[in-house]
Chains A and B, each alone.
Chain A
Amino acid sequence: MDELSDHEILAAVGRGDQAAQKEFFLRYRQKAYRAAYRLLGNDADALDATSDAFVKVFRAASGFRGEASVKTWFYRIVVNTSLDLARKRKRMLSLDGPGEEPGSLADFIDSGQETPPEAVLRGEMSEKISAAIDALGEKHRSVFVLAAVEQLSYREIADALGISIGTVMSRLFYARKYLQKSLSMHVEAGDEPVQ
């Protein structure tokens, strides 16, 4: 099964092959989680979004016609699922008032999940970057996460998000400029988050 291409695996998923589902899950679970984590800012929501995205992928696999690459199609589902969840959480927060803080790195360690040592050491920077990415509007956040975190090409990002390559480049530049400022590398008072 592991020698099959993504297209072949997805075709088998579309025919209801559970071994193919498992293989697809193994190939893409970390990518999905990493993107969802940076789009949502905490691990609990990232796990929910990742799980929901795989359910959507498996249910939609039979309708995949191969116009886009499997990778960009998959990331489109992950991004949309994550942003839908982010909007839902925002609505809930606005109704309920301030809720619990999003899961921190320490919470994640307490939960017994594996944590690479270098990630612990860089935890403070990770939290800063999470807060800064959270402050980006969702359009800029999506582009930044797919480019910087998932290292997709401009063409792949454009296909996944349904925008032009020029828009990808522009949003990525403004996202980086904003992150540069909010990470206190070039602090200028009064900067507003990029929307």
Chain B
Amino acid sequence: MSQCNEFAEMISSHVDGVLSPEETRKLEDHLVTCSSCRATLDAFLAADAAARETVIPGEQVWTDMWDRIQSDLATRENRSILFARLWRGAAFAAAAAAILLTLYVFGPQTRTPVDATSRPGFQVLSVEVGAPEYTAVVMNAADGQFPVVWIERI
């Protein structure tokens, strides 16, 4: 029986067909005389065979799954596009804020009210901060997708 310990892992490898011819012969010789190891081999083979018995879904299940995968991919794609737009918008807004802040801090403190009608096709988003020579405005383009930073020399 103590000899069986030597063969225990070999039996598992034998089930997977990875023993060398020499190891296989050695194990088979042992199996002839050892009922305990034969029972182990039978049990390993039976467990593997039982585990392989899986009920495979029918065609309708696969069709439904395929539709679900496509729908999931489309939802994630739309979400990615939305995030990309928001991220781009946030980047533009941050750049605009930096420009406005720079003008506000380093330029003379004069402010001019925004005349939105003077820029047809744009929706003005932020207050206009004027410097002696430059004016910066943050506004939305006509399609409403991207904020635009507009800097004019007066």
A→B interface (CB under 8 Å): 22, 25, 29-30, 33-34, 37-38, 43, 47, 50-51, 54-55, 58-59, 105, 108, 112-116, 118-119, 122, 125-126, 128-129, 132-133, 144-145, 147-149, 153-154, 169-170, 172-173, 176-177, 179-180, 183, 185-186
Contact = CB atoms under 8 A, between A and B. Distances in A.
Given A22-B66, A29-B62, A185-B39, A149 B52 contact: yes
Contacts of B43: 176, 179-180, 183, 185-186
Given A47-B57, A173-B8, 17 more contacts: A30-B56, A33-B54, A33-B57, A37-B54, A112-B60, A113-B57, A113-B61, A114-B57, A118-B53, A125-B53, A129-B51, A148-B48, A148-B51, A148-B52, A149-B51, A177-B8, A185-B43
Interface stretch (B9-17, B23-31, B85-93, B111-119): B9-17
- Please classify the interface of chain B as helix (H, G, I), strand (E, B), loop, or mixed, using the class held by over half of its residues: helix
A190 B146 CA distance: 68
B50 A125 contact: yes
Interface of B: 8-9, 12-13, 15-16, 18, 39-40, 42-44, 46-48, 50-62, 65-66, 68-69, 72-73, 76
